[in-house]
Amino acid sequence: MCAPGFSGHIRWVLIALFSVGLSSCYSLIQRNHTWPELVTRMAPAESEISAPLVGISPGSKSQSPFIGVQVTCRSKEYLFQLDTGSSVTLIRQSLQKEIGATPLARAEIITASGSTSEQTLYTTSRLKIGEFVLRNEVVAFVQDEDIDALGRRGGAERLEGVLGASLLHRGEIELAIEQKRLFLRSFSAPQVHGIKTRVALVWVPDNNGFVLPLEVGTDRSVRFLLDTGSNSNLIFDSNGIYGKKIESTPSIGTAECRTLRGTYTVKAYRLPFPVKIAGHTFDTGSTVFVEKRQDGRHAGSLGTPFLLSHRRVVLNAHDQTAAFEPK
């Protein structure tokens, strides 16, 4: 059920977050892996490349689209969703032989709903965006029906995978929203500092996530996960102080959260206090969601609609800076 005028079918990917301080089940790997170690294997861009951004429908015209990009493997193009809320890249199982990958280790997947399972992680150097090779990309292969269950299509194309947060280690990422293009450029030629409105972009190395500081009242450093796999502006953690404050107010409805590990229901609320980031204010009364997030270290997540409301978004993990150019 949902309140009048409120869509009850908000969907987002919450593959949060693969634990890569992992134990290997393969004899070739004798020690655990950490994200700082894995990132050193990822060759960054040396020059600028660009690729079209693809809008991926969530299934309703009233909902914000997801952001996709074409990924090439062996001269074939596949539609992937950009999801900075996912620690690793996820690919449908039926493509495993075609793509080819080397086993890395076993890891535990924990979704926001709390379900857990073990998954084999692999590395591959056969994925490309434009002419740029994603060397040593950490990937997991998931059941085709799990990808299909997300219900997202870009026109007649089916979704083949989810491109995770490791993309931000490849170079400065620019989402040119009005041009509908993604730019990937060398960290040595940044443009992030040419945009006036900037905030800190902090990498969390134990789970390969990126967080941004939001302002809530006098608190100017409330950590929110940057999650382009969510098409909701703000999702608060019910275990946090602000999530608890919101939950003390009347709910205005419910929504379905659809993940690769199942679907569950979350409650929607009216924001009882303003929240600010990068010159933008989510006013009192804005619709937000509250859920029990298993990670527990962040106050919540910031999703795709906020990014799409700008002309340009530039993310530079090397300089630990995110910039937002308004329309």
Q: What's the rounded mean pLDDT across residues 43-64?
A: 85
Q: Which residue has the higher pLDDT, 158 or 204?
A: 204
Name the amino acid, one letter, at 16.
Answer: A
Question: What is the pLDDT, as a whole number, of residue 294?
Answer: 67
Mean pLDDT is highest, among 17-26, 50-59, 164-173, 227-236, for 164-173
Model confidence over 191-202: pLDDT tens digits?
999 999 999 999
Whether the pLDDT of residue 107 is over 50: the answer is: yes
- Nearest in space to 227 (alpha carbons), one of 158, 293, 147, 164: 164
Query: For residue 270, what are the CA distances in angstroms to 137, 249, 287?
Result: 40, 8, 5
pLDDT bucket at 4, cuts 50 / 70 / 90: very low
Model confidence over 284-304: pLDDT tens digits?
999 999 998 766 678 999 999
Name the fold adopted by 21-188. Answer: Cathepsin D, subunit A; domain 1 (2.40.70)
Question: What is the pLDDT, as a whole number, of residue 293?
Answer: 76
Phi/psi of residue 99, nearest 5 degrees: -80, -45
What whole-number distance in Å separates Cα of residue 126 and Cα of residue 281? 42
What whole-number distance in Å separates Cα of residue 111 and Cα of residue 17? 7
Whether the pLDDT of residue 20 is over 80: the answer is: no
Question: What is the pLDDT, as a whole number, of residue 116?
Answer: 66
Indicate where the chain has its CATH 2.40.70.10 domain(s).
21-188, 194-326
CB 242 within 8 A of CB 321: no
Model confidence over 217-230: pLDDT tens digits?
888 889 999 999 88
The number of beta carbons lying within 10 Å of the beta carbon of residue 243 is: 22
Model confidence over 175-186: pLDDT tens digits?
999 999 999 999
pLDDT bucket at 164, cuts 50 / 70 / 90: very high
What whole-number distance in Å separates Cα of residue 5 and Cα of residue 110? 33
* Reported CATH class of domain 194-326: mainly beta
